[in-house]
């Protein structure tokens, strides 16, 4: 299975609601917005890692992803679903002392283990934070790049997640997704479905390339226009989005 540690686990009841097509109420708080449910299965988490860091480095995976994402010294990067920190560590070296990397995960134990690694390796330009399945809890107007590598297919509430993510992206910033070109229940996201879900929340795809070294493809998106009101988001139909 291709995935990263600490990805977006959700409650069984929420997953069943997503599959039914009913709107998803995020919390019991009356003021919380309602978002449409995703018309697709959500991949079940069955492993804590994709491969060893040494094996991934032999394929030059991280370097190739960072090059295609155009990550440069001095940038501020969010690493969503950071897991054990494979990308966090390498992006910290790429952005350098004048850049910053915020590593986010939703599993407290994973977050704590990564924080220990960051402290052990004395990475002064890295911070670690706990997010939520439908909201990465990122500071506003902060990031040149938001990286989501081998985890998008495990987001059960993509419209809520992408809606909450938008304000964190700087003007000119880019959201980068790396995933496999296969159905979500098989731990991938068909590119047409990915583009449709992003577009529903006001993102424009600006690039997509095959990426065998990272197990699939890389796609780049940028926010355009105003963020839509949650009740105005039109959900994608999985079958039509993947062209079947």
This prediction has a pTM of 0.83
Q: What is the predicted pLDDT for the residue at 42?
A: 82
pLDDT at residue 53 is higher than 50: yes
- SS3 for the chain, per residue? CCCCCCCCCCCHHHHHHHHHCCCEECCCCCCCCEECCCECCCCCCCCCCCCCHHHHHHCCHHHHHHHHCCCCCCCEEEEECCCCCHHHHHHHHHHCCCCEEEEEECCHHHHHHHHHHHHHCCCCCEEEEECECCECCCCCCCEEEEEEECCHHHCCCHHHHHHHHHHHEEEEEEEEEEECCCCHHHCCCCHHHHHHHHHHCCEEEEEEEEEHHHCEEEEEEEECCCCCCHHHCCCCEHHHHCCC
Cβ 50 vs Cβ 150: under 8 Å = yes
Confidence category of residue 238, pLDDT binned at 50, 70, 90: low
Res. 62: pLDDT tops 80: yes
pLDDT recorded at residue 29: 44
pLDDT (tens digit per residue) in 81-122 = 999 999 999 999 999 999 999 999 999 999 999 999 999 999
Predicted confidence at residue 133, as pLDDT, reads 93
Q: What is the pLDDT of residue 170?
A: 98
Where residue 196 falls among pLDDT bands split at 50, 70, 90? very high
Q: What percent of the chain has a predicted confidence (pLDDT) above 90?
A: 70
At residue 51, the pLDDT reads 65
Partnered with residue 149 across adjacent β-strands are: 178
Give residue-wise pLDDT tens across range 148-193: 999 999 899 999 999 999 999 999 999 999 999 999 888 899 999 9
pLDDT of 239: 56
**Mean pLDDT, residues 120-126 taken together:** 97
More confident residue, 244 or 149: 149
> Residue 232: its pLDDT value, please?
95
Lowest mean pLDDT among 49-58, 68-77, 125-134: 49-58
The larger pLDDT score, comparing residue 196 to residue 2, is at 196
pLDDT at 34: 92
What tokens does 90 get? 């390498």
Render pLDDT for 210-234 as a digit per residue (tens, 0 to 9).
998 888 999 999 999 999 999 999 9
């Amino acid at each position: 299975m291709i995935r990263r540690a600490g990805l977006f686990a959700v409650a069984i009841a929420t997953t069943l609601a997503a599959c039914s097509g009913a709107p998803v109420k995020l919390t019991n708080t009356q003021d919380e917005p309602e978002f449409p449910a995703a018309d697709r299965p959500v991949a079940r988490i069955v492993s804590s890692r994709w491969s060893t860091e040494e094996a991934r480095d032999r394929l030059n995976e991280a370097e190739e992803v960072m090059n295609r994402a155009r990550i440069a010294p001095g940038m501020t990067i969010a690493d969503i679903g950071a897991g054990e920190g494979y990308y966090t560590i390498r992006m910290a070296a790429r952005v350098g002392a004048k850049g910053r990397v915020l590593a986010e995960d939703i599993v407290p134990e994973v977050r704590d283990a990564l924080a220990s690694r960051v402290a052990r390796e004395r990475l002064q330009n890295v911070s670690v934070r706990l997010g939520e399945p439908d909201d990465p809890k990122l500071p506003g107007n902060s990031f040149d790049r938001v990286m989501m590598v081998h985890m998008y297919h495990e987001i059960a509430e993509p419209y809520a997640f992408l809606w909450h993510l938008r304000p964190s992206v700087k003007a000119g910033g880019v959201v980068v997704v790396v995933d496999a070109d296969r159905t979500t229940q098989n731990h991938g996201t068909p590119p047409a479905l990915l583009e449709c879900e992003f577009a529903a929340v006001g993102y424009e795809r600006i690039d997509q390339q095959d990426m065998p070294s990272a197990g699939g493809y890389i796609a780049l998106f940028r926010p355009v226009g105003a963020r839509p009101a949650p009740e105005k988001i039109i959900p994608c139909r999985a079958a039509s989005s993947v062209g079947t």
